Amino acid sequence: MNMKFDGEIVDWFILFFIVVFLFGGTYQRNSLWNSEAGLWKDCVKKSPKKERTHHNLGFAYQELGRWDDAQQEYEEALSLNPCYFLSMYNLGLVYYEKGLLDEAIDHYKKGIQLDSNFPDLFYNLGLAYHQKGLYGDAVEAYKKCLEAKPDYENAYLNLGLAYKRLKKQEKAIQSYQEELKCHPDNVYAYLELGVIYKERGDDHKALANLKKALTYPGLPHADEVAKMVSSIEAGRR
């Protein structure tokens, strides 16, 4: 695939790979969660008025990618206990996965009202805001996440992506650098620094960071990053 690696494409490329709820597709994993779903489905039949059994069945469905079934079970858990925090949060994740961003945001906010010290809520709220193009709101959400957990992986990276969208390059750079202080092996922070320095005309720093990214085995679209490096080097000759 011929892919122009400009700054905007890199941003969405990175966001795609760092969402926090990734679901495996192996037979072994599906077998495990099919067994879990069967177990909790039986528990629901025996104890239909317990929110925990509905929540756990919903989680098993969620792990299988059965979003509608998961949503139904989480909603049932919340009908039994409107303050059941984990179901509120996980229902937000399901809505996000289904592309229903407004509903996801609403449930994350309700979850925050129930527990304002849970960093995952703020992180995922930031992701949803970012997807809607509400970058200022995303910045505030990521900041809250970092207040709750200063070393939350990818939070500074995503904060930098939001700042970049807001044309605040210095704050973006600072955020990427903070990510690397907490997580020195975050290849996407190096990649973003390389791109932003390239856009600023600082070839030396651009090359240093892009070459650092290329040292990581398995870097997605490494060939495109290598072409970017070659282009910068050719321009310096």
- Per-residue pLDDT at 87 exceeds 50: yes
Residues 108 and 181 in one domain: no
- Note the pTM of the prediction, 2 decimals: 0.85
112-145 burial by CB neighbour count: b if 16+ within 10 A, else e? beeeeebbbbbbbbbbbbbbeebbebbbbbbebb
Tell me if 71 is assigned to some domain: yes
pLDDT at 42: 83
Q: Token pair of 227, please?
A: 């072409």
Q: What is the CATH number of the domain that holds 183?
A: 1.25.40.10
Domain boundary among 55, 86, 115: 115
Q: What is the mean pLDDT of residues 159-170?
A: 96
First to last CA, the chain: 28
Residue 30: pLDDT band by 50, 70, 90 thresholds? low
Residues 224 and 173 in one domain: yes
Residues 47 and 82 in one domain: yes
- Per-residue pLDDT at 178 exceeds 80: yes
Residues 3 and 36 in one domain: no
Residue 219: pLDDT band by 50, 70, 90 thresholds? confident
Residues 221 and 167 in one domain: yes
CB count within 10 Å of CB 96 equals 22
Tell me if 121 is assigned to some domain: no
Domain boundary among 65, 86, 115: 115
Tell me if 208 is assigned to some domain: yes
Tell me if 11 is assigned to some domain: yes
Range of the domain at 209: 1-18+153-237
**How do residues 143-163 score in pLDDT, each as one tens digit?**
999 999 999 999 999 999 999
Tell me if 144 is assigned to some domain: no
Q: Picking from 40-49, 80-89, 129-138, 177-186, which range would have the lowest pLDDT averaged per residue?
A: 40-49
- Per-residue pLDDT at 166 exceeds 80: yes
Structural domains counted in the chain: 2
Residues 109 and 165 in one domain: no
